């Protein structure tokens, strides 16, 4: 959070985080930008919302009532946003909620919703949700509107309204597999080889011995596992890379390590401090996600705290 905030603070006026604790951390870096809290608040967090000048996104009628009661007791006015459930059945106020008394006096600084199928550009629910959102937003004339997150931005300008919320797009995650885009990946990840073993035909690898050598093979044990965010589901499916050589993951992924077949790497090229590419020029986040049976979002958010992180500016 801190490094991303420093990179963006001279270019972005509005930030979104999930929880108040994240907003408190972010406020120390961004004294003047607006910071919205997507999950709103729990009752014991309202004081911090006000103290750190955070903007809660009110997602339910109960939150609206709690907020109004707090403001009445303390005699304060503080900006809030309202989220509508335009069809995803997740966060947000329903149209029935908007008819209730407490909403008639609410003066939000932003109304917003979220698209369920934005990563599928031709899905009819995108337009259906957009129309629902417009109808609900008309209850608050003149209030800025926000509907599109990363994938929604690529649906076109009619989904943009007054504010868009790029998240994964900041890191080069593709909006979908159909729309041409100019996003560039910003994350690379390497992992060290810890040990090399020479296997004979018929030898097996890893927990459950799920991979068997069909011929003599050179196998590297690499210091990355599911505790670091390399998903266990990627065992016997994904690959690491050395230069332009694809090195298949063999056997199950362990907590702190995995095994790859490095038979195609020349013996003379092996060194004691050798690393292999997990995410890089030949395999971006989305490609690793496909091999793991998931999406790029899960890969990025699963990357653990044990990595040495190097941030490169202006590249």
Least confident of 80-84, 113-117, 230-234, 302-306: 302-306
pLDDT score for 274: 95
Position 159 pLDDT exceeds 90: yes
pLDDT score for 291: 95
Position 314 pLDDT exceeds 80: no
Rounded Cα–Cα distance for residues 279 and 287 (Å): 9
Please give the average per-residue pLDDT across 148-160, as a whole number.
96
Q: Give strand pairing partners of 146.
A: 112
Has 61 been annotated as catalytic?
Answer: no
The binding site consists of 90, 255
What's the 3-state SS for the chain? Answer: CHHHHHHHCCCCCEEEECCHHHHHHHHCCCCCCEEEECCCCCHHHHHHHHHCCCEEEECCHHHHHHHHHHHHHHCCCCCCEEEECCCCCCCCECHHHHCCHHHHCCCCCEEECCCCCCCCCCCHHHHHHHHHHHHHHCCCCCCCEECCEHHHHCCCHHHCCCCCECCHHHHCCCCCCCCCCCCCCCCCEEEEEEEEEEECCCCEECHHHCEECCCCEEEEEECCCHHHCCCHHHCCCCEEEECCEEEEEECCCCCCCEEEECCCCCHHHCCCCCEEEEEECCECHHHHHHHHCCCHHHHHHHCCCCCCCCCCCCC
Rounded Cα–Cα distance for residues 82 and 61 (Å): 10
pLDDT score for 174: 87
Catalytic pick among 159, 207, 226, 297: 207
Rounded Cα–Cα distance for residues 170 and 183 (Å): 8
Position 44 pLDDT exceeds 80: yes
More confident residue, 79 or 180: 79
Q: What is the mean pLDDT of the chain?
A: 94
Least confident of 4-13, 120-129, 171-180, 295-304: 171-180
Position 315 pLDDT exceeds 80: no
**pLDDT tens-digit map of 233-277:** 999 999 999 999 999 999 999 999 999 999 999 999 998 889 999
pLDDT score for 236: 97
pLDDT score for 194: 97
The percent of residues in the chain predicted with pLDDT above 70, rounded, is 99
The binding site for substrate consists of 90, 255
Position 91 pLDDT exceeds 90: yes
The percent of residues in the chain predicted with pLDDT above 90, rounded, is 88
pLDDT score for 198: 96
pLDDT score for 181: 80
Please give the average per-residue pLDDT across 157-170, as a whole number.
96
pTM to 2 decimals?
0.91
**pLDDT tens-digit map of 15-37:** 999 999 999 999 999 999 999 99
Position 110 pLDDT exceeds 80: yes
Domains of the chain: 2-171 (3.20.20.10), 189-302 (2.40.37.10)
């Amino acid at each position: 959070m801190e490094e991303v905030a420093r990179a963006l603070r001279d270019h972005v006026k509005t930030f979104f985080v999930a929880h108040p604790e994240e907003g408190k951390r972010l406020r120390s870096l961004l004294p003047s930008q607006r910071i919205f809290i997507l999950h709103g608040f729990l009752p014991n967090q309202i004081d911090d919302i006000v103290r750190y000048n955070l903007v809660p996104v009110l997602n339910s009628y109960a939150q609206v009532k709690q907020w109004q009661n707090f403001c009445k007791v303390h005699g304060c006015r503080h900006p809030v946003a309202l989220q509508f459930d335009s069809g995803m059945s997740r966060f947000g106020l329903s149209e029935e909620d908007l008819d209730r008394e407490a909403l008639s006096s609410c003066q939000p600084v932003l109304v917003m919703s979220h698209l369920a199928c934005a990563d599928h550009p031709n899905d009819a629910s995108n337009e259906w949700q957009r129309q629902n959102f417009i109808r609900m937003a008309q209850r608050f004339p003149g209030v800025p509107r926000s509907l599109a997150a990363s994938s929604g931005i690529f649906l076109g300008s009619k989904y943009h309204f007054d504010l868009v919320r790029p998240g994964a797009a900041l890191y080069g995650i593709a909006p979908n597999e159909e729309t041409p885009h100019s996003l560039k990946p910003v994350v690379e990840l390497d992992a060290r080889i810890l040990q090399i073993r020479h296997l004979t035909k018929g030898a097996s690898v890893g927990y459950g011995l799920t991979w068997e050598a069909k011929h003599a093979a050179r196998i590297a044990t690499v210091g990355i596992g599911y505790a670091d965010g390399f998903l266990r589901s990627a065992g016997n499916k994904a690959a690491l890379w050395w230069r332009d050589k694809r090195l298949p993951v063999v056997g199950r992924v362990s907590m702190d390590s995995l095994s790859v077949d490095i038979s195609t790497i020349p013996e003379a090229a092996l060194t004691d401090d050798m690393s292999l590419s997990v995410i890089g020029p030949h395999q971006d986040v989305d490609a690793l996600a496909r091999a793991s049976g998931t999406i790029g979002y899960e890969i990025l958010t699963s990357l653990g705290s044990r990595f040495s992180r190097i941030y490169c500016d202006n590249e």
